[in-house]
Amino acid sequence: EYGLSKNEERKMIAQLADENHCDFISMQIEKHRPQGKLKALAFCRNITHARMMCEGLQDQYHTAYLTGKNSIGERIRAYNDLQSDTSDLEILFTVDILNEGVDIPGVNMVLFLRPTESSTIFIQQLGRGLRKYSDKQYVAVLDFIGNSYKRSVQIAFALSSLAENFVVEKRLMVSLVNNNFEALGLTQYGVEVNIDDLSKEEIIRYIQDENFNSLKYLKQDYFNFKSYINAEHAPSHMDYLNNDCAPDILRFINIKMGGRKNYSYYNFLSKIEEQGLPLFSDTQIAFLNYLSEMLPLVRIYEYQIMQCIFKETTNLEDIKKKLRCENKAFQDMQFAHALKFMQEAGYVRCEMNRVVLHVKRDDQFDEWVMDLVTYGLARYEIEYGDGQDFKLWSSYRKDQVQLKLCKNPKLNQKGTYVYDYIVYIFASIKKDASISEHLDYKDKFLQDNLFQWECQAGLTQIEQQQLIQSKKAYLFIRKVESENGMVLPFTFVGTGKLTNPRLTENVKGTLLFDIPMENTLPDYLQFDFGLKID
């Protein structure tokens, strides 16, 4: 798993559990020991490691270890004994079985005695000690894994995963590290992060040099997750939604390999030579790609129509009736638009008032598609709910914006669109530029509720008048266009109105506008977008 032979692994475990190492661990435990009874949770490499650590520290502490061979009753008793102030148990050594959603809020110390190669799994393990509990003032986290595993970088990524609505990219990561992750707002929960200057330099250098979207990292994240949930076969789409420690499956779908996007989870699994995959035809794979490209969904009609078809409801009026019952905010125009462009894609046809799928089906294909559709609809419900308008601070691609507006999703090359006196602006704020370049760039936040925007050059007088006479503007902001082969989305920052039009000095005929915003930019996005220069 970590590039070690069986013999090398045995030697490593013997070294981790030898007397000198155990004495060192004991010394560090006593140095950072919380008040009251010690309630330590220790993550080990495997069963042998857990047993040897348990035996190696049993002279100094009351210890026990758990593995997958223990019954549920034995596990629950151990969890209760660890938390109980009247029980002797002080350290519980474990091999991954506590990654199953068990909550032990009384834990006041976490010991990392093994490498964890996935930041998502690492933050879940760390979270075992971050639960609030009566008379528990803090949790001590002791990490005994060396720099060879670049643990400090992993901690940085794990902390970044706690942020909501951030589009995480390298410059943001560097800013967060430099500012000890203050922008995450963890202090309101009593959490403070302090990284020494030398570690900051190490982390930042590694972040800047590495491509975290490379096949190496994606394969590592995938196989770690598969192992983590003890999956015999490839995890399903829904497995990524049902497990807190799951990586974002969209990283596997959207990444480019060999200059081309994967387009679907199935393609990714094929490229990493995952075993036991069902064999699909080229047409079936193309259909999976077509559905997967819509993720994350910003409207549900396409997936709902597919769900009906695969559940054998194909009459057009029956489909409409069913969707109206399921969706109180059902819109005929959205439904008709979805059906139109599904037909243009060539996978469905309306024949004799029936919606017919032009893809050969079989049991394995049906199962795969239904899992994908269920995932897409469930994720939409979590991220967007029943909202019909654009959700503030959420991410969108240009084609997704066009879909929600019932326009052609393929018309997504321009940076500005005007429909019925409403302007939709896609602006870049050049966060990947230097500070001096950033200050000179026209598109930027002047205040937390005021955006300055320069329209594109070469607009006709009629097009300029459309902007000046517009009644409202929807503003979508992107910091960086792409990073390591992955195109980044825009963040919807709300609506405003184009005001104060004036000619710019850059290009003849180009207009500069001020856009007072209806919503004030939250602190974390002020930090992210460079309004607060770090």
Residue pLDDT, tens place only, 4-26: 556 666 666 777 678 888 999 99
Delimit the domains of the chain by residue range: 6-209, 214-276, 278-388, 395-528
Sheet containing strand 40-43, strands side by side: 63-66, 91-94, 40-43, 109-112, 140-143
Judge whether residue 162 has pLDDT over 50.
yes
Q: What residues have CB less than 8 Å from 162, skipping those under 6 apart? A: 123, 184, 186
Bin 513: left if φ > 0, else alpha if -120 < ψ < 50, else beta.
beta
- What was the pLDDT predicted at 97? 54
Per-residue pLDDT tens digits for 430-454: 755 555 554 556 899 999 999 999 9
Maximum Cα–Cα distance across the chain: 85
Q: What is the mean pLDDT of residues 308-328?
A: 93
Residue 430 CA: distances (Å) to CA of 425, 444, 481? 15, 9, 9
CA distance 402 to 151: 42
Token pair of 170 as six digits: 């390298």
CA distance 344 to 260: 23
Q: What residues have CB less than 8 Å from 331, skipping those under 6 apart? A: 388
Token pair of 76 as six digits: 């629950």
- What was the pLDDT predicted at 259? 55
Judge whether residue 353 has pLDDT over 80.
yes
Which of 71-75, 151-155, 413-417, 432-436 is least confident?
432-436
- What was the pLDDT predicted at 26? 94
Judge whether residue 503 has pLDDT over 50.
yes
- What was the pLDDT predicted at 108? 84
CATH number of the domain at 278-388, please?
A: 1.10.10
Select, from the ranges 35-49, 208-222, 421-435, the one with the highest average predicted confidence (pLDDT): 35-49
Which of 162-171, 341-350, 403-412, 508-517 is least confident?
162-171
Query: What is residue 451's three-state secondary structure?
Result: strand
Among 145, 50, 39, which residue's Cα sits nearest to residue 93? 50
- What was the pLDDT predicted at 395? 92
- What was the pLDDT predicted at 481? 80
Per-residue pLDDT tens digits for 243-287: 766 888 998 998 766 556 658 999 999 999 999 999 999 999 999
Which of 152-161, 313-322, 473-482 is least confident?
152-161
- What was the pLDDT predicted at 2? 43
Pairing of strands 40-43, 91-94: parallel
Token pair of 316 as six digits: 């057009």
∠ at Cα 286 (280, 291), nearest 5°?
A: 110
The DSSP letter of residue 99 is G
517, 451 in Cβ contact below 8 A? yes
CA dihedral 25, 30, 36, 41 (to 10 degrees): -10
Per-residue pLDDT tens digits for 165-221: 666 677 777 888 888 888 777 776 666 777 778 778 878 887 787 777 788 888 888
Averaged pLDDT of the chain = 83
CA distance 505 to 502: 10
Judge whether residue 159 has pLDDT over 50.
yes
Q: What are the percentages of helix, strand and coil residues in the chain, rounded to 5?
A: 40, 15, 40
41, 94 in Cβ contact below 8 A? yes
- What was the pLDDT predicted at 318? 96
- What was the pLDDT predicted at 149? 39
CA distance 299 to 289: 18
Token pair of 376 as six digits: 């897409």
Among 181, 112, 174, which residue's Cα sits nearest to residue 142? 112
Q: What residues have CB less than 8 Å from 210, skipping those under 6 apart? A: none
Token pair of 241 as six digits: 């939604």
Q: What are phi and psi of 475, to 5 degrees?
A: -115, 125
Residue 483 CA: distances (Å) to CA of 171, 212, 264? 10, 9, 19
Judge whether residue 45 has pLDDT over 90.
no
Bridge-partner residues for 418, per DSSP? 423
Token pair of 264 as six digits: 């679907």
- What was the pLDDT predicted at 120? 56
Binned at pLDDT 50, 70 and 90, residue 390 comes out as very high
Per cent of the chain over pLDDT 90 is 46
Helix ranges (H only) for 301-446 are: 301-310, 316-326, 332-345, 363-383, 398-404, 435-440
- What was the pLDDT predicted at 134? 56
Q: Which fold has domain 395-528?
A: PUA domain-like (2.30.280)
- What was the pLDDT predicted at 278? 96
- What was the pLDDT predicted at 462? 92
Q: What is the mean pLDDT of residues 150-169?
A: 63
CA distance 258 to 270: 14
The structure tokens 């995952």 sit at 274
Helix ranges (H only) for 327-409 are: 332-345, 363-383, 398-404
Q: What is the mean pLDDT of residues 222-232?
A: 86
Q: What global pTM score does this model have?
A: 0.74
Sign of the C-alpha dihedral computed for residues 498, 501, 505 and 509 taken in this order: positive
Cβ atoms < 10 Å from Cβ of 328:
7
Which class is domain 6-209? alpha beta
Pairing of strands 482-483, 422-428: unpaired
Token pair of 201 as six digits: 């330099």
The DSSP letter of residue 522 is P
Per-residue pLDDT tens digits for 476-488: 999 888 777 677 8
Token pair of 132 as six digits: 């609030």
Of residues 243 and 510, the one with the higher pLDDT is 510
Per-residue pLDDT tens digits for 121-149: 665 555 544 554 456 566 777 877 654 43
Which of 1-5, 161-165, 273-277, 343-347 is least confident?
1-5
Sign of the C-alpha dihedral computed for residues 186, 192, 193 and 194 taken in this order: positive
